[in-house]
Amino acid sequence: METKWETKRALITGAASGLGLALARRLLNEGTHLGLIDHNPEGLTAEYRETAGRFKTYALDVTEPGEVQKAVEDFAGQAGGIDILVNCAGITGRTGIKSHEVDFGDFNRVLGVNVLGSFNTFKAVAPWMLKQGAGRVLHVASIAGKDGNAGMLAYSAAKAAVIGMIKVQGKEYAESGILINGIAPAVIRTPILERQPEEQIRYMTDKIPMKRCGTLEEFVEAACYIISDQNSFSTGFTFDLSGGRALY
């Protein structure tokens, strides 16, 4: 079953950089109608200034349910519905430290963006998909949520929570026509990686049997399958994108 991307309406968070930006550019090239969410208005403006295609940008904090709900209602109202939700928004917080050194505020912010942000967007989008009787949701998790990365307590805990959410939602909506899955990348070459200490990057990369980082292109190819019509019998699953590191 070929996916007609030009008929799809997709909402992507974290769209101003990294994984979200790479996926948004692919879908725009395919003609998909996009709603692009990021906390960074300057990033959204800069990245999509010269871009052709049907899209609308929303500069907001995904941890604020009211802001998320307003953006979803605006986009879905204009587009006539939502077929795809991809939650790429995420932060690592301070890394390279042991658990007792983690700051309370930093811990809460990391969980807020990664977990609450994904929940807020899903909660706002789900009624539209239920009304249609169809939809695709992709929550971006991490190998850190499966395996744990020393020095990254908040991020590892947050992504583990996202994986738990994926499992629950997959079961709850399995008969509704809405497929909810995740993807767990290992180290992907994105701007967020450049902000990590070199020893932290080396620690993560050394754990990958392929001994290299993943690429944005590899992420986009995997993500496009998960949110496509071709994916018709996988839900509640977190797909591996870890170069052989994932054990489950």
DSSP string computed for 67-99: HHHHHHHHHHHHHTS--EEEE------S-SS-G
Q: Nearest 5°: phi and psi at 238?
A: -110, 110
Domain range list for the chain: 5-239
Is the predicted pLDDT of residue 160 greater than 90, yes or no? yes
* 206: amino acid identity, one letter: D
pLDDT of residue 199: 80
Q: What is the pLDDT of residues 173-188, one digit of tens each?
A: 999 999 999 999 998 8
Residues marked active site are found at 155
Is the predicted pLDDT of residue 197 greater than 80, yes or no? no
Q: How far is CA 90 from the centre of its chain?
A: 7
Answer whether 110's CB lies under 8 Å from 92's CB. Answer: yes
pTM, 2 dp: 0.95
pLDDT of residue 133: 98
Q: What number of other Cβ atoms are within 10 A of residue 78's Cβ?
A: 12
Q: What is the pLDDT of residues 31-89, one digit of tens each?
A: 999 999 999 999 999 999 988 889 999 999 999 999 999 999 999 999 999 999 999 99
Give me the CATH topology for the region 5-239. Rossmann fold (3.40.50)
pLDDT of residue 192: 65
Is the predicted pLDDT of residue 152 greater than 70, yes or no? yes
Rounded Cα gap, residues 41 and 203, in angstroms: 33
Q: What is the pLDDT of residues 87-103, one digit of tens each?
A: 999 999 999 999 999 99
Quote the DSSP letter at residue 116.
Answer: I
